[in-house]
Amino acid sequence: MEMATLAPTLLLGWVLAQVSGAAGTTNTVVAYNLTWKSTNFKTLLEWKPKPIDHVYTVQLSHRLGNWENKCFYTTETECDLTDEIVKDVKQTYMARVLSYPAENAKPTDSSVEPHRTNAPEFTPYLETNLGQPTIQSFEQVGTKLNVTVQDARTLVRMNGTFLSLREVFGNDLSYVLYYWKASTTGKKTAKTDTNEFLIDVDKGENYCFNVQAVIPSRRGNQRSPESIIECTGQETGGFRELFFIVGAIVFVVIIFIIILSLSLYKCRKARAERSGKENSPLNAA
């Protein structure tokens, strides 16, 4: 009778233990919201949640390669994968985040089976965001306005040199110029496959303008943010920089002259005092 009474209790205990173990496994944190963040090929993989008692490892591969471990056992929720993806920006990459309980996150512990979450596939050449372009210089002479766009530098290398956006995208990269009379708001546009604009404008009118980088061959994510607005009738960026440099030099020279003058004055005063002391006995005689 005692065994018959005890059996249900033992069975219940065994069931609870199994449920508890299963719950512990289920509650192991799994990464989610895996997102690529990339601008001019500077590329991060981000995810959630912030770890409490677990750590993450990121693995990266391309379609013909093997998985490589990155950001080992990190407590961060982002991993910089730039160094790998810039090796071949036209390749399609796959990434996944592995979650480990913190106490079991040991490189030598192969018995721990991590939870894996896959990121969407990512092709840098097609998907990296274009950064805000910069107007390098501009000049309005008569009825012609010349605007030069400065290509941004990327982290893509060739022979140890960082390539510009133009050097990476070549003819796939275009620029659009938005321009308007400073006294109006009606915008006109011009497009170039180089970095130079030469457009016709009205003589005697000041113009404002900005530029935008575009990759028309992309299905999406074609356009960069627009650059800062510049206007004619004002000093160009280069002239302003020169003005500030000259001003700084003049300021330094003035300070140097003041310090030198004070030093010379103190030296003359000191010599005069010494001379007065040396001559005082003779005067007294």
From the number of C-beta atoms within 10 Å of its C-beta (0-12, 13-18, 19+), residue 117 rates as: middle
pLDDT score at 103: 75
pLDDT score at 241: 56
pLDDT score at 92: 97
Is the pTM higher than 0.85? The answer reads: no
pLDDT score at 27: 59
pLDDT score at 22: 40
Q: Mind listing the domains of the chain with CATH numbers?
A: 28-127 (2.60.40.10), 134-233 (2.60.40.10)
pLDDT score at 40: 97
pLDDT score at 275: 67
**Ranges of residues in the chain whose predicted pLDDT is under 70:** 1-28, 104-112, 234-244, 273-285
pLDDT digits (tens, 9 = 90+) for 28-71: 689 999 999 999 999 999 999 999 999 999 999 998 889 999 99
pLDDT score at 282: 47
pLDDT score at 281: 53
Longest dimension (CA), the chain: 137
pLDDT score at 110: 53
pLDDT score at 234: 65
